[in-house]
Amino acid sequence: MKTHVYLAPLIFFSTTALADIAVVVHPSNTNTMNEKVISRVFTGKVKVFPDDSRAIPINQTASSPPANEFNRKVLRKSASQLKAYWSKRLFTGKGRPPQEVSSDADMVELVASNPEFIGYVDADMVTDQVRVISTFK
């Protein structure tokens, strides 16, 4: 019986850790971007989409499963590494971390409201309000 108590949380966390992440933009945004460019946008190194329109990245809160997956799969950094990265950029005046939202639903709503926004959600949470430009498994 004790084995089941210990296995249940492991099964839950292993399935949430394997979620696909979809990078989303406003439906009118026709840009395409590869992983490298997406990473550079979310680290403040690139501030425009390929068509030279302004790109404003939106993050989910650092402790959320989608943020953890995005950081690991796309940025290849842990939450603590990103915190240190943004602290240094703030201190040197080279940039500010992206605005944060607290859920996939909030992300979809916000990105759908502005063609300049780019964000990410659990791929299962994508709606027709946004357009997927890349998916990371």
Q: Give the strands of the sheet with 117-122, arranged side by side.
A: 99-101, 56-60, 117-122, 21-25, 131-136
Is residue 55 in a domain? Answer: yes
pTM score, whole prediction: 0.86
Reported as a pLDDT band with limits 50, 70 and 90, residue 4 is: low
Closest CA to 88 of 43, 57, 58: 43
Is the pLDDT assigned to residue 8 strictly greater than 60? no
Average pLDDT over residues 54-83: 96
Is the pLDDT assigned to residue 56 strictly greater than 80? yes
Calculate the CA 132 to chain-centre distance.
12
Is residue 111 in a domain? Answer: yes
Q: What phi and psi, each to the nearest 5 degrees, are found at residue 132? A: -85, 125
- Which tops the pLDDT comparison, 48 or 10? 48
Is residue 6 in a domain? Answer: no
Closest CA to 77 of 85, 65, 66: 85
Is residue 128 in a domain? Answer: yes
Average pLDDT value over all residues in the chain: 90
Q: How far apart are CA 43 and CA 96, in angstroms?
A: 9
CB 122 within 8 Å of CB 101: no
At 63, which CATH number? 3.40.190.10
Is the pLDDT assigned to residue 66 strictly greater than 80? yes
Domain limits for position 50 = 20-136
Is the pLDDT assigned to residue 1 strictly greater than 70? no
Q: Determine the pLDDT at residue 2.
A: 52
Is the pLDDT assigned to residue 36 strictly greater than 80? yes
Q: How far apart are CA 104 and CA 101, in angstroms?
A: 8
Average pLDDT over residues 70-95: 95
- Residue 62 is classified by DSSP as T
Q: How far apart are CA 24 and CA 136, in angstroms?
A: 12
pLDDT above 90 as % of the chain: 85
What residue type is assigned to position 90 of the chain? L
pLDDT above 70 as % of the chain: 87
What's the total number of domains in the chain?
A: 1
